[in-house]
Amino acid sequence: MIKPATRVTEIQEYYFSRKLKEVARLNAEGQDIISLAIGSPDMSPSEQTIEKLCEVARQPSAHGYQPTIGTPELREAMADFYSRWYGVDLNPASEIQPLIGSKEGILHVTLAFVNPGEEVLVPNPGYPTYTSLSTILGARVKNYNLCEESGWQPDFEELERMDLSRVKLMWVNYPNMPTGGNARRETYEHLVDFAQRHHIVVVNDNPYSFILNEGEKLSIMQVPGAKDCCIEFNSMSKSFNMPGWRVGMCISNPTFISWILKIKSNIDSGTFRGIQLAAAEALKENTSEWHREYNIDIYRRRRMVAEKIMETLKCTFDPQQVGMFLWGKIPENYAEVEELTEKVLHEAHVFITPGFIFGSNGKRYIRISLCAKEEKMEEALNRIKKVFG
C-alpha cells in the first residue's frame, strides 16, 4: 500500500485553499459570496509595466532560460528602489537575489540555513507559511508571542528567557500581517542586537511598507550591522499590484546571498525575461504619484468601509494599523471566532478571515481584506448590516 511521506501528514492544506472550495460551491449554488478574505490586490500594475511586458514578449530571443540570479536590469532596479525609498545602499551584483515571490524565498532561506531538527522562531500570530514550510523541511517551530498591548512587537524579555541554543532563524514581518502593527526603528535595532548576540539570522518580511503608510519607509537594513546577520524580503505583489507575476527580492550580505543562490539554482530555472524587465520598469519609474493613488488613496477609502463593517460586527480595532487588511477583536459573547465568521459567510454571504489561522494569539480576532472594489465592500457592509444591524 502506497503511503505519502510523513511530512504530508504533519501539515494541513492551506486554509484559503480549503475554504475557497467551499466558497466556490456556495457561488455555484447561486449565493454570490463577496470575498474580503485574501490579500490579492485587485488593481492593475502601471501602464508602463504592462507595455514593457508586451514589448519583451514579442522578442524571439526573450523566451529561453534566464539566469537564476536574475537579469542585471532587475537587480540594478531593485538596488535603486532600496536606495530611493529606504536609503539603503546595495551592491546589485552580490547583495540582491530576485525571487519568484516571498513564499519561494521562505523555502530557499530555510533550506540554506536550517538543518532538520534545528529550530526556527515564528511569530504568533504570523504568516502561516513560516510554520508550514518549516515543518515540511523538518525544522522545529518555536513560537514567540505578539500581543495587542505591545503594538504587536516582539517581547525581547520573553525571547531572552527562551532556550535559543538550537535556533537558527527568526521570522519577523513588519509592517505586520495580519495585525497591521507598523515597523518601528527601535524594534529593528533590538532585532539586530538580538541576532548578533545569539548568532541567529533574522529574516524580515517587508512587503507592506507602502500600503496605507504615509510615514517613513523602514527597512531592517537601515540599522548598522544588519547586513551581517539579517535578511530582508520585499515583494512587488502588494505595492505594485503584481501578485500573480511572482516577483520578490531577497536582500543580505554576499555570503548569505551566495548560499541562497546555491539552493535556488537547484530548484528553479529563473523567471521569464519579460516579467523581469517589466518589474525593473515598474521599480525604476518615478512612481510617487502612482504609489500615492494606489497604495494610499484607494486603500484609505476601502479602509473606511472596512471600519464600518468592524463596527457593525461590534469588533474593536486599532485605527493606527497599516497595510491592506483591517484586524479586529471580536466581542466577548462569541465563544469562538468561527461562530462569527461562519455566520457572516452563510447568512450575509461575505467571506472574512478568522484570526486563528495565524496562530493561537489570533483566535479572538478577524481580518478583513481591502482587496475588493469599493462598491463591493459597500455591498458587503449592507449585507452584514441586515444580519447584524
Q: How many domains does the chain have?
A: 2
CATH code for position 368: 3.90.1150.10
Which of 257, 284, 311 is at the close of a domain?
Answer: 284
User: Is-contact 34 380, C-beta < 8 A?
Assistant: yes
Task: Indicate if 87 and 203 belong to the same structural domain.
Answer: yes
Is the pLDDT at 286 greater than 90? The verdict is no
Q: What is the pLDDT of residues 318-369, one digit of tens each?
A: 999 999 999 999 999 999 999 999 999 999 999 999 999 999 999 999 999 9
240 with 318, same domain: the answer is no
Q: Is residue 203 part of a domain?
A: yes
**Are residue 117 and residue 255 in the same domain, yes or no?**
yes
Give the residue numbers spanning the domain of 153.
Answer: 61-284
**pLDDT tens per residue, range 32-83:** 999 999 888 999 999 899 999 999 999 999 999 999 999 999 999 999 999 9
- Flag whether 49 is in a domain: no
Cα 2 to Cα 5, 183: the distances in Å are 10, 48
Residue 5 pLDDT > 90? no
Where helices occur in 72-231 by DSSP H, the ranges are: 72-86, 102-113, 128-136, 156-161, 185-198, 226-229
Of 284, 314, 340, the domain-final residue: 284
At residue 313 the predicted structure's pLDDT band, cuts being 50, 70 and 90, is very high
Which strand ranges, in their side-by-side order, compose the sheet holding 365-369? 316-317, 325-329, 365-369, 353-354
As a whole number of Å, the end-to-end CA separation of the chain is 55
Which one of 241, 264, 284 terminates a domain? 284
Average pLDDT, the chain: 93
Q: Are residues 373 and 340 in the same domain?
A: yes
Tally of CB atoms within 10 A around 142: 16
Q: What is the Cα–Cα distance from 191 to 188, expressed in whole angstroms?
A: 5
- CATH for 152: 3.40.640.10
Q: DSSP states of 72-85 as a string? A: HHHHHHHHHHHHHH
How far is 276 from 266, CA to CA, in rounded Å?
A: 20
**Cβ(322)–Cβ(211) under 8 Å?**
yes
pLDDT of residue 69: 93
The total number of residues written for the chain in this structure: 389
Are residues 147 and 256 both part of a single domain? Answer: yes
DSSP 314-363: T-EE-TT--SSEEEEEPPTT-SSHHHHHHHHHHHS-EE-EEGGGG-GGGT
Beta-carbon contacts of 215 under 8 Å, excluding residues fewer than 6 positions away, are 182
Element (H, E) at 143: strand 140-145
